[in-house]
Structure formats: structure tokens, C-alpha cells
Amino acid sequence: MSSMSSFKPYLFTAYYNWIVDNDVTPHLLIDVSVKGVQVPLQYAQNNSMVLSIAPAAIADYQINDKGIGFKARFHGESEQVIVPFKAMRQLIAFETGGALPIGQALAVYDSDDDFDTADYEEDEDDFAIFPEFKSVDDSEEEEQSSTDEQPQSTEQAQDGQDKKQPAFSFVTDD
């Protein structure tokens, strides 16, 4: 009998989709001190950071058994963001103020989690859970040459500028 795949990405996706389907903006509270987190740390406070993960605010969204990854803009600069499930604290429905303690919900499934930091050396530079993502340093030159493909921030999309569609879409009952 083969083992089943991890339940974590399905649980995260279900709640995320429910928030988006109800026209509410999803935000994610994360612990930036968890190994494997890749975010621009200058925006973190007290080892915490809140990220808008609305479809209009991110691009190249990916999810696997270990966490999520996407590109987002921080003060106009495109940055690669990687968040292991272990770093997630709350998935927030911004306009309603409701929040699911996603970290606690996912911790129930830690027995199937093979993202064991003991398997990695402390000095390892590339701790990416998405090896197909280029490092930020390697992709800077490519990003500068293809500015028309960069994601827009939520603020830009709300200001009535051209909205770019995220790299994924949701099925709706429209």
C-alpha cells in the first residue's frame, strides 16, 4: 500500500480559495525566523511579517508539500518569496478580520512532513523548497530586461491600472 500525499497543501488551498471566492483579500502572517523562509527581511518586525497573497498581488504562485512560493513587489521591487508551512502562523481574511491559525492547523499533519531542518547544513545558502526558482541575485538581470512581465502590487491594480492576471486562476460559479 502506498502512502498518501501530504494533506497540508490541500488544507491551505481550501481556506485560501474560500477567502478569495468570497471577495476578501487573503493575508498571511509568517514567522521569518523559521529556516527556509525567503522574504525581504527589512519589512519584518519582531520576526513576523504579514504578506498580501491576493491573486492580483502575486505572480508565479506555486505550492507543494512543504510550502508556498511566489513573486511579489515590495516598494516596486520584484522579490521571490518562499514560505514553508512551518513558518505560517495565521491566514487572515483582511476585510472581515477573521483569521485561521493555519500554523496550528497544519502542525497536526507534521507526521507526514519531510521538511526536516536537521537534514540541511547550517551554512547552506540555497535552502529553497522550490529548487526551480532562481535565486533573487541570479534573476535580477532577467527581471530588468523583462519589466513588462513583472507582477503588479495590489495598490497598482486597485488604482485602475492594467490588471495582470496571476499565474493561476480560480474556478467560479459566475
pLDDT at position 131 is: 57
Q: Write out the residue range of the structural domain in which residue 85 sits.
A: 8-155
Residue 168 lies in a domain: no
Q: Give the separation between CA 174 and CA 160, rounded to whole angstroms.
A: 22
Higher pLDDT, 118 or 54: 54
The full length of the chain comes to: 174
pLDDT at position 118 is: 40
Q: Residue 47 above 70 pLDDT? A: yes
What CATH number is given to the structural domain containing 74? 2.30.30.220
Residue 36 lies in a domain: yes
Higher pLDDT, 58 or 143: 58
Residue 163 lies in a domain: no
pLDDT at position 145 is: 43
Q: Residue 146 above 80 pLDDT? A: no
Quick check: helix, strand or coil at residue 80? strand
Residue 143 lies in a domain: yes
Q: Largest Cα–Cα distance of the chain, in whole Å?
A: 53
pTM, two decimals, is 0.65
Residue 125 lies in a domain: yes
Parallel, antiparallel or unpaired: strands 77-84 and 88-93: unpaired
Residue 1 lies in a domain: no
Does residue 143 contact residue 73 with C-beta atoms inside 8 Å?
Answer: no
C-alpha distances in Å from residue 68, one per residue of 73, 104, 130, 160: 16, 17, 8, 28
Quick check: helix, strand or coil at residue 123? coil
pLDDT at position 127 is: 44
The C-alpha torsion from 136 through 139 and 140 to 141, rounded to 10°, is 160
- The whole-number average pLDDT for the span 41-67 is 96
- The percent of residues above 70 in pLDDT, for the chain, comes to 62
pLDDT at position 108 is: 85
Best CA proximity match to 113, nearest among 39, 38, 18, 3 = 3
pLDDT at position 18 is: 94
**Number of domains observed in the structure of the chain:** 1
Residue 166 lies in a domain: no
For residue 20, list its beta bridge partners. none
DSSP for 4-32, written as a single string: PPPSHHHHHHHHHHHHHHTT--EEEEEET
As a whole number, the mean pLDDT across the chain is 76
Q: Residue 50 above 90 pLDDT? A: yes
**Surface-to-core class of residue 41, CB atoms within 10 Å of its CB (0-12 exposed, 13-18 middle, 19+ buried):** exposed
Residue 161 lies in a domain: no
Higher pLDDT, 13 or 125: 13
pLDDT at position 82 is: 97
83-135 pLDDT per residue, tens: 999 999 999 999 998 999 999 988 888 754 444 434 333 334 434 555 555 44
